[in-house]
């Protein structure tokens, strides 16, 4: 698999469940923008065979290199990001839920999902967009949701991109993230206001905003329910004191960005 094939496969799968992303992409293209992505983000459980390292394998196979690690105590997540030596390619941000920090109920439900994985599932070359490999009831989803929105999201959607992120530095018709956000609101999109519309500051070297996730019909074992799926993110980066552009992430900002798929509004 080549880099572009991999990114195309991720994008196709993502827009299928995130209609707003293609609408925003088209809107920006119509203004003459050429869109490049800052990063793509994936989610998983910290369970054997489907850990961060497993999801990363198809990216590492085509040249992405592991960078920094992060921890999100409140949400019980750990994460790492990868960067590609070729300029203009998105970073890959993968997080996983620390199951040991979850209640026995959540641990039991997740163990039941993971037990359904076919042998060798974690070695699939298409693991990052392989979808939901387990059966789950709406009641189980609701039990997970009561404790961890993230746990519930992974149960419902499985393995797919949670969000793409537009590289705002590469846009030519918006002076800053505030202008882009205003344009999106003016065109009817709802942005995630948890922690303010823009997370981070120029001093943090990273400003981020995101839409509220689209809601789509998800077929659970027992019934179909409309729940938040994926969102679109926007990132503006600033240089470090060294003059080099900052490529990492800001945990306090990412913590609020995670809430873009929050069903409890």
C-beta closer to Ni ion: residue 233 or 255: 233
Residue 103 vs 190, nearer CB to Ni ion: 190
Residue nearer to Ni ion on the CB measure, 90 or 158: 90
Site of tokens 């920006």: 28
Stretch that binds Ni ion, among 2-10, 107-115, 128-136, 229-237 (CB under 5 A): 229-237
Distance in Å, CB of 125 to Ni ion, minimum:
24
Distance between CA 169 and CA 175 in Å, rounded? 9
* 103/113 Cα distance (integer angstroms): 16
Question: Minimum distance between the CB of residue 38 and Ni ion, rounded to whole angstroms?
Answer: 8
What is the 3 state secondary structure string of 170-219?
HCCCCCCHHHHHHHHHHCCCCECCCCCCCECCHHHCEEEEEECCCEEEEE
Using CB under 5 A, count the residues that bind Ni ion: 3
Contact 240, 246 (CB under 8 A): yes
**Nearer to Ni ion (CB atom), residue 141 or residue 150:** 150
Report, in Å, the least distance between residue 235 CB and Ni ion.
7
CB 174 within 8 A of CB 180: yes
Q: How far is the CB of 29 from Ni ion (least distance, A)?
A: 21
Q: How far is the CB of 219 from Ni ion (least distance, A)?
A: 27
* Dihedral over alpha carbons 189, 194, 197, 203 (to 10 degrees): -150
- 227 near Ni ion (CB under 5 A): no
Min separation Cβ 20 and Ni ion, Å: 16
* Measured distance CA(255)–CA(234) in Å, rounded: 15
Q: Which CB atom, from 194 or from 225, has the smaller least distance to Ni ion?
A: 194
Interaction of residue 41 with Ni ion, rule CB under 5 A: yes
**H helices, E strands: number in the chain:** 8, 9
CB of 77 within 8 A of CB of 67? no
List binders of Ni ion among 142-171 (CB under 5 A).
Answer: 165
> Of the ranges 37-45, 76-84, 171-179, 193-201, which one interacts with Ni ion (CB under 5 A)?
37-45
Taking the least distance from each CB to Ni ion, the nearer of 143 and 209 is 209
- Paired residues of 55 in beta bridges: none
233 contacts Ni ion (rule: CB under 5 A)? yes
Sites of contact with Ni ion (CB under 5 A): 41, 165, 233
């Amino acid at each position: 698999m080549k880099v572009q094939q991999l990114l195309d496969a991720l994008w196709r799968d993502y827009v299928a469940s995130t209609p707003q992303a293609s609408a925003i992409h088209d809107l920006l293209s119509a203004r003459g923008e050429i869109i490049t992505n800052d990063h793509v983000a994936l989610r998983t459980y910290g369970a054997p065979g489907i850990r961060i390292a497993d999801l990363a394998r198809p990216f590492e196979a085509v040249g992405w290199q592991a960078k920094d690690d992060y921890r999100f105590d409140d949400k019980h997540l750990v994460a790492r990001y990868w960067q590609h030596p070729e300029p203009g390619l998105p970073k890959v941000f993968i997080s996983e839920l620390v199951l040991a920090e979850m209640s026995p109920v959540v641990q039991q439900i997740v163990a039941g999902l993971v037990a359904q994985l076919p042998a060798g599932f974690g070695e699939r070359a298409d693991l990052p967009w392989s979808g939901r490999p387990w059966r789950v009831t709406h009641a189980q989803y609701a039990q997970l949701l009561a404790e961890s929105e993230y746990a519930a999201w992974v149960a419902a959607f499985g393995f797919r991109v949670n969000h793409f992120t537009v590289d705002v530095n590469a846009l030519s018709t918006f002076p800053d993230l505030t202008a882009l956000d205003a344009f999106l609101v003016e065109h009817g999109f709802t942005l995630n206001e948890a922690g303010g519309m823009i997370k981070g500051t120029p001093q943090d070297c990273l400003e981020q905003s995101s839409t509220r996730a689209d809601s789509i019909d998800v077929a659970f074992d027992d019934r179909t329910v409309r729940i938040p799926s994926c969102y679109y993110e926007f990132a503006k980066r600033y240089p470090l004191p060294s003059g080099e552009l900052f490529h990492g992430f800001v945990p306090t900002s990412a913590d609020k960005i995670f809430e873009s798929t929050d069903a409890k509004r």
